[in-house]
Homo-oligomer: A and B are copies of this chain.
């Protein structure tokens, strides 16, 4: 199987989120067969749900479709470093590989803050690849917040 970057789709989800007035973060879940198992953007405002981050929506949809709490062999592409909540959900879902774009020193929980995967208590640590499409992700976020100032 040829390795394909799914960051363009994740960025498209982030752009769609911005158009809905949501913080522009997007996530794409890829199944073990290489197919897209879910593509989501933030919907915290629309759903009045602080847990409705792109990653959580993708994981919940993927698990519901698979009929399982666990997604072994799946990968998740996210435009921004996941927060502690999403990192812990990624671990709980046993996602195999996490690809993310821009670092998030303010809210991130993978390489910053809680560093959820870096504790002995973390039962499952995905392989992590960062910095993919980071400039595009950062530009989207900066434009979004600049327009709201």
**Chain A: residues with CB nearer than 8 A to chain B?**
44-45, 47-51, 56, 59-60, 63-64, 66-70, 83-89, 92-93, 105-109, 112-116, 119-123
Contact = CB atoms under 8 A, between A and B. Distances in A.
A43 to B, nearest CB: 11
A69 B48 contact: yes
A68 B48 CA distance: 5
Given A48-B63, A48-B66, A122 B116 contact: no
Given A51-B59, A114-B119, 13 more contacts: A44-B69, A48-B68, A50-B63, A50-B92, A51-B92, A84-B84, A84-B87, A85-B85, A85-B86, A105-B121, A107-B123, A109-B114, A113-B121
A44 B88 CA distance: 14
Contacts of A106: 121
A87 B93 CA distance: 17
12 contacts: A48-B66, A49-B60, A50-B70, A50-B93, A51-B51, A84-B116, A85-B92, A88-B114, A107-B121, A108-B121, A109-B114, A114-B115
Contacts of A67: 48
